[in-house]
Structure 1
């Protein structure tokens, strides 16, 4: 249903940030050690970064460190999605920028709201919002002004935009490589 479609789109947007842009960002800055350290922290956050008494002592540290390491990559990922909306069929790049800047802070994660806001605006959807889990209802605010009734077609549009944003991510890496490894004239 629409809730599952929204969740898939939200997951693609968030994972673009911490699963694609951030590892590449830390690899470009610090090489393999930067990539490995980032992935170790990110994995610790996934495994023990929960707000339950069992994980609070160590999990909170992993979660906060992951938040800090994703400050720049999350914003870059939102920017890449906004740029990607220029090339995506039916993409709305200016709406992506507007929604990202306005709604990123509504997300319970200080970083996930950037790519999710950009994706919501680019696709004219409303993401996040109230949702039902097994024994509780999360009353999160909506991100975006569009349709909350996401469809399988919207998942396809999101994946297309995700692929374009990945190409944009590769483009900045290529530009850095050209600058970093350019051979001076006569050398």
Structure 2
């Protein structure tokens, strides 16, 4: 089966260094926003309260098919026109990653707490989490931020890179289309539970390998950094499977164990308490310094991933270069 580690390497390196150019955003916005417009249009027409639950599941499945087929079809056409060349395909695939923006949003929470205090910290963390933030104290804000960093390392960095390795530019676009649909309509509430069921299940499925891989990258980065990688492994084995998500618990457990923290715990959504289990057995009183420590670990995990893609790309290139000579000798 063909695979494209060079595209993943170029995509992760490009996005890590440059992010999504602001000038380009001002002209054409971001492709995720195009996807969001399509999702909103389909949801408005096909997710009607008058429909039965079965019909809403069916129209949701139809929408999921359209939401993936349209962008992936475009990506296939572009990839073929570029002859799957790693450099242009990798640069285009970089828009499916969120290394730099994730860093910026997480760092903003630490800065808000350090410079503006509790109220500004609540506002900053409210931009990256879905829970109620008005009642969070500093420790809860810091824990929520670290949880989000760990989970989105898997969803926004490792998963799109992995799928670009498996499928090139179309693979990256396929993953991003499914993930965006899940983030918009894959919610367990009255409006979206039935309509977004297919998108949510599909997102869970395609994130399974990346969530495990992201935990491994964090453990490896902890080992390189001199952090407690053994505890990270222990917490993964003990706590990852207890998360309400089949995937988020893996990178969160790795991060909690490596940093010596307990994250997760009870919280509120739309005024309703959610009895979420704790992950880890370290300190619950997280601080802005812990956010910065988590960011350092995140940076190293990103570098580990880039280095691995570079190594695999190099081995693949050398093997392909040597193959014609080997055939000739035979």
Q: Give TM-score, length-normalised by structure 2.
A: 0.55
Q: For each residue in 1:6-49, what CA deviation from the matched residue of structure 2 results, as whole angstroms up to 9, or x when unmatched?
A: 00000000000010000000001110000000000000000000
How far residue 111 of structure 1 moved from its aligned partner, in angstroms, is 0.1
Q: Following superposition, which runs of at least 4 residues in structure 1 exceed 2 angstroms of deviation?
A: none
Question: Do structure 1's residue 146 and structure 2's residue 271 form an aligned pair?
Answer: no
Partner of 1:50: 187
Deviation at 1:185, TM superposition (A): 7.8
Q: Distance in 2 between matches of 1:101 and 1:168?
A: 22
Whole-Å separation in 2 of the counterparts to 1:93 and 1:35:
30
2:151 matches 1:14: yes
Structure 1 match to 2:197: 60
TM-score in terms of structure 1 length: 0.95
The answer to which structure has the higher helix fraction is 2
Contact 1:88 1:160 in 2 (8 A): no
**Secondary structure at 2:290 match in 1:** helix
Unaligned runs of 5+ in 1: none
Aligned length: 186
Q: Quote the residue 1:119 is aligned against.
A: 255
Counting only pairs closer than 5 Å after superposition, residues 55-134 of structure 1 correspond to structure 2 as 55-88=192-225, 91-134=227-270
Gaps of 5+ in 2: 1-137, 326-330
Instruction: Judge conservation of contact 1:45–1:62 (CA < 8 Å) in 2.
Output: yes
1:52 positional shift: 1.4
Output the CA distance in 1 between the equivalents of 2:324 and 2:162.
31
- Report the alpha carbon displacement of residue 55 of structure 1 after superposing the two structures with TM: 1.2
Distance 1:124 1:164 in 2: 17
